[in-house]
């Protein structure tokens, strides 16, 4: 009975303790939920927790990244605002080019075209290197002569900076039937000549120094011979360089100027059969009459010589006849024949 009472008391005490503990926990839970929360404290707590969980970046890596970003920013900024300076060797390079051209022109006003050509060449600072004007002689019905179908061949030298503009100006001289141009790059040969000339000048200075110090006669003779050869090579190279400079500074243009009555069409023209036949008959008749005229003129020019030749031939024939007659008379005197009696 006594044991049962003690057990009952213990169970009652345990139950009371359990109830008390549950009430205390419930009260603490309700207090925590009902208390106002500080957003800043919560954010700081979460940030600190996240910072604690994240691994810290090494200072060296951070500095390296900062340095890389700085350099990249500086390079991109300088690239946008500055341009690379040109190399002096590239800036000093000048191509040595010789320009030449050949132009064929037809004109119906020959004298005017020739005057305009020479005037234009002089105007732009060029000069005529060579020229030749020729043509055919035509004899008129009134006894006068006229030069027709004239040609003019010009070789002119034009300042290189005026080369293209002059070729454009040739279109005003008449009908340009053909144009060809050429550009010869002689930079490599020119620089080789310059390098060779510099080397020879150095050799000349050394030879002169050796001549001043040498006292042996044979050595002096050999040095003078070598110096003479070096100076000859120097003069030859300088002459070649001057020739190059002249050709580079003044471009060469060959012009063929021809007088015509009708311009050659630059665009093909279709002709009918009747037109072709008429042109053929006209060309044939003109050629025939021109040939007859040339034959008559040739005979007329040879007439004095023909008369003289006829006189000489006639004199020779007369002399031959006289000689034969004389020989017959002598033969008859040596062998007389008796007269025959009449029957």
pLDDT the model gives residue 183: 95
Q: Cβ(223)–Cβ(211) under 8 Å?
A: yes
Percent of the chain with pLDDT over 90: 41
Does 173 score more than 80 pLDDT?
A: yes
Report the C-alpha gap between 99 and 185 in whole angstroms.
9
pLDDT the model gives residue 46: 39
pLDDT tens, residue by residue, 108-143: 999 999 999 999 999 999 999 999 998 887 777 777
Residue 106, Cβ neighbours under 10 Å: how many?
20
Looking at every residue in the chain, the average pLDDT score rounds to 76
Does 233 score more than 70 pLDDT?
A: yes
pLDDT the model gives residue 203: 94
The distance from CA 40 to its chain's CA centroid, rounded to whole angstroms, is 80
pLDDT tens, residue by residue, 54-104: 433 433 333 444 333 433 333 334 343 344 444 444 445 588 999 999 999
pLDDT the model gives residue 12: 59
pLDDT the model gives residue 238: 96
Predicted TM-score of the model (pTM): 0.51
For the CA atoms of the chain, what is the radius of gyration?
59
pLDDT the model gives residue 56: 39
- Hey, what are 124's tokens? 């732009």
Average pLDDT over residues 146-166: 92
Percent of the chain with pLDDT over 70: 69
Query: How many alpha carbons fall within 13 Å on the CB side of residue 247?
Result: 19
Length of the chain: 343
Does 242 score more than 60 pLDDT?
A: yes
Average pLDDT over residues 144-172: 91
Report the C-alpha gap between 174 and 177 in whole angstroms.
9
pLDDT the model gives residue 265: 75
pLDDT tens, residue by residue, 208-223: 999 898 888 888 999 9
DSSP track, 69-109 = HHHHHHHHHHHHH--PPPPHHHHT----EEEEEEEEEEES-
Report the C-alpha gap between 189 and 185 in whole angstroms.
9
pLDDT the model gives residue 18: 55
pLDDT the model gives residue 277: 87
pLDDT tens, residue by residue, 1-40: 445 555 556 555 555 555 554 444 444 433 434 343 443 3
Name the strands in the sheet holding 127-139, side by side, starting at the edge strand that comes first in the sequence.
127-139, 145-159, 250-259, 97-107, 175-185
Report the C-alpha gap between 125 and 134 in whole angstroms.
26
The values of phi and psi at residue 33, to 5°, are -75, -35
Average pLDDT over residues 278-293: 89
pLDDT the model gives residue 269: 66
- Hey, what are 284's tokens? 């044939």
């Amino acid at each position: 009975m006594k044991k049962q009472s003690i057990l009952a008391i213990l169970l009652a005490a345990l139950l009371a303790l359990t109830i008390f503990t549950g009430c205390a926990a419930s009260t603490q839970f309700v207090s925590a939920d009902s208390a106002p929360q500080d957003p800043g404290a919560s954010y700081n707590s979460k940030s600190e927790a996240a910072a604690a969980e994240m691994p810290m970046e090494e200072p060296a890596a951070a500095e390296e990244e900062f340095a890389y970003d700085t350099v990249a920013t500086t390079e991109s900024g300088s690239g946008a605002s500055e341009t690379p300076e040109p190399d002096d060797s590239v800036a000093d390079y000048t191509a040595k080019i010789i320009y030449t051209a050949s132009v064929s022109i037809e004109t119906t006003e020959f004298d005017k075209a020739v005057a305009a050509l020479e005037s234009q060449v002089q105007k732009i600072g060029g000069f005529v290197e060579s020229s030749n004007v020729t043509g055919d002689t035509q004899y008129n019905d009134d006894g006068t002569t006229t030069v027709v179908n004239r040609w003019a061949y010009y070789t002119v030298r034009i300042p290189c900076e005026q080369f293209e503009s002059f070729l454009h100006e040739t279109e005003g001289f008449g009908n340009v039937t053909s144009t060809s141009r050429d550009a010869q790059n002689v930079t490599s040969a020119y620089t080789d000549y310059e390098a060779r000339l510099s080397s020879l000048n150095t050799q000349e200075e050394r030879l002169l120094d050796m001549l001043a110090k040498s006292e042996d006669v044979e050595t002096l003779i050999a040095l003078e011979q070598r110096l003479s050869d070096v100076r000859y090579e120097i003069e030859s190279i300088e002459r070649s360089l001057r020739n190059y400079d002249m050709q580079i500074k003044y471009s060469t243009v060959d012009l063929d100027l021809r007088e015509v009555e009708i311009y050659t069409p630059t665009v093909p023209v279709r002709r009918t059969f009747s037109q072709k036949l008429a042109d053929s008959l006209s060309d044939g008749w003109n050629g025939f009459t021109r040939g007859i005229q040339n034959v008559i003129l040739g005979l007329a020019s040879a007439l004095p010589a023909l008369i003289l030749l006829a006189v000489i031939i006639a004199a020779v024939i007369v002399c031959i006849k006289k000689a034969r007659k004389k020989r017959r008379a002598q033969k008859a005197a040596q062998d007389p024949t008796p007269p025959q009696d009449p029957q």
